[in-house]
Chains A and B, each alone.
Chain A
Amino acid sequence: MKIRIRRFDGSKSWWQDYEVEAKERDTVLDILLKIRERQDHTLAFRHSCQMGSCGSCGMVINGKPSLACQTRVLELKTELIRVEPLYNFPVLRDLVVDLTGFVGKHRAVKPWMIRRNPEELEDASSEFVVTPQQNMSFVQFDYCIMCGLCDAACPTMALDPLFLGPQALAQAYRYVADPRDEGLDDRLEVLDDAHGVWRCHFAGSCSYVCPKGVDPAKAIQFLKKDILKRRLFRSKKESSSPATLPKVEKVPDNAPHPPPFDYKFEEVSQA
């Protein structure tokens, strides 16, 4: 079979064809590794876990942003496979793209728990309880592996490089939907901006290409709804702050250590 790879050496780009023998269960990543081992050691691409968990091998395969390690060549059902670097990203070399801006946008939405009283995080009097039902409201968006496929598929990213992108916005919603988080107001500065959530026009391509079922398009629409509600009604989100939970007595620092658990092993009779 023939594989056509978009190459870039820092100054010029070109298409290069390789002839490779593919086995039934070979993935595109297997083919790329074969090429680099046996034909062209200058070919550059990222990969790590080879099982769809790390998100390193994101690239565009036959026009669709995909993980190379999860795309079997025979399932593509084409004689010629075209492999390109991720769309909408600056290319460093061959299939390796620059993720600096991508990670920066992720950081800009403050993807961590924000509490109005930061002392609670240092000196919590009890657990921050999340019920299984509450957990279901955001756990889907927790599955993001930051592979960048959603940003590569997004048509708005193609027009506005400053747009936060589906990855960052979905992660913002992951925390906004978390009942322990109280940071929507802190995030509004970047989310409710000209390059923020309103630039999304719901093409849904991010959800279509997501390899982990995160569904960023859904998260972004829910985020719009929450921001609109906040702007219109200025409603304060109810929190499950420890104040509403039963207090747990703090153990003083000088308290004696509790006795170790008394393990009692039952003697197993030798048959």
Chain B
Amino acid sequence: MSSEEQEKGYKSGLIRSLNPKGFNLERYTYMLHRITGVILALYLIAHIFEIYHVGLAVLNNNPQIWYSTLAELSSLGILEQIGLWIVAGSALYHGANGLRLILNEVFGMLLGKPVLPEYPYSPTSLSRPQKAAVYIITAVVVALWIWAGLYLLAGLGVI
């Protein structure tokens, strides 16, 4: 059969990759890890752009640019602050989940040992230690993210 007669890579692509529906808990952590990674990458680009202005100020010996950047950063609008809150949440989640992945991938931890498969099969790599790590990370990240939100609201004078 020629390649034209094949339906190539059925249901492949970004949406298929990020859609965790019908799969395991770790698939949701995978999705969040990817999305938070993209948010952090976009933030990093914006941050470098911001720092670039300060660098110009130093190079040109022009403190005015430095002062104006500081003034801009100290008077962020509500949408910009919400954006920073999302970036903070992304950094918290990406970092904490990244630590779990390092334990898995570099040290082979939380995976259990190779076993003789016995029906009904239950993969040890997705069993209790792994789930516990996911729940603990999620709880800690959510708690810190809420705290960051309250800090933000206090800064805005709402509470």
Contacts and interface: CB of A to CB of B under 8 A. Distances in A.
Given A204-B126, A213-B118, A213-B121, A225 B106 contact: yes
B72 interface: no
Contacts of B24: 203-205, 207-208
A156 B17 contact: yes
B60 interface: no
Interface in A123-141: 136-141
Interface in B83-131: 101, 104-108, 111-119, 121-126, 130
Given A140-B116, A155-B16, A221 B125 contact: yes
B61 interface: no
A214 interface: yes
A181 interface: no
B22 A63 contact: yes
B1 A155 contact: no
A208 B125 CA distance: 9
Interface stretch (B6-14, B39-47, B138-146): B6-14
A201 B33 contact: yes
Interface string B4-40: 0111111111101110011110110110011000000
A241 B93 CA distance: 47
B17 A202 contact: no
A62 interface: yes
B1 to A, nearest CB: 6
Nearest to B3: A90
Q: How large is the interface on A (under 10, 10 to 19, 20 to 34, 35 or more residues)?
A: 35 or more
A90 B16 CA distance: 15
A205 B17 CA distance: 11
A143 interface: yes
A94 B44 CA distance: 46
A207 B126 contact: yes
Interface in A97-145: 97-98, 136-141, 143
Given A90-B6, A91-B7, A140-B115, A158 B121 contact: no
Given A64-B22, A90-B6, A218-B124, A202 B105 contact: yes
22 contacts: A10-B5, A89-B10, A90-B6, A136-B116, A137-B114, A143-B117, A158-B17, A159-B12, A161-B12, A202-B105, A203-B24, A203-B26, A203-B30, A204-B26, A204-B30, A210-B121, A211-B121, A212-B117, A215-B123, A222-B108, A225-B105, A228-B106
Interface of B: 1, 3, 5-14, 16-18, 21-24, 26-27, 29-30, 33-34, 101, 104-108, 111-119, 121-126, 130
Q: Which 10 A-B pairs have the closest CB atoms?
A: A213-B121, A213-B117, A204-B26, A203-B30, A207-B123, A218-B125, A91-B7, A63-B22, A158-B17, A208-B24
Given A207-B123, A212-B117, 20 more contacts: A64-B22, A84-B10, A87-B10, A89-B9, A91-B10, A98-B6, A137-B114, A143-B117, A155-B18, A203-B23, A204-B24, A205-B23, A205-B24, A205-B26, A207-B24, A208-B126, A210-B121, A213-B117, A218-B112, A218-B114
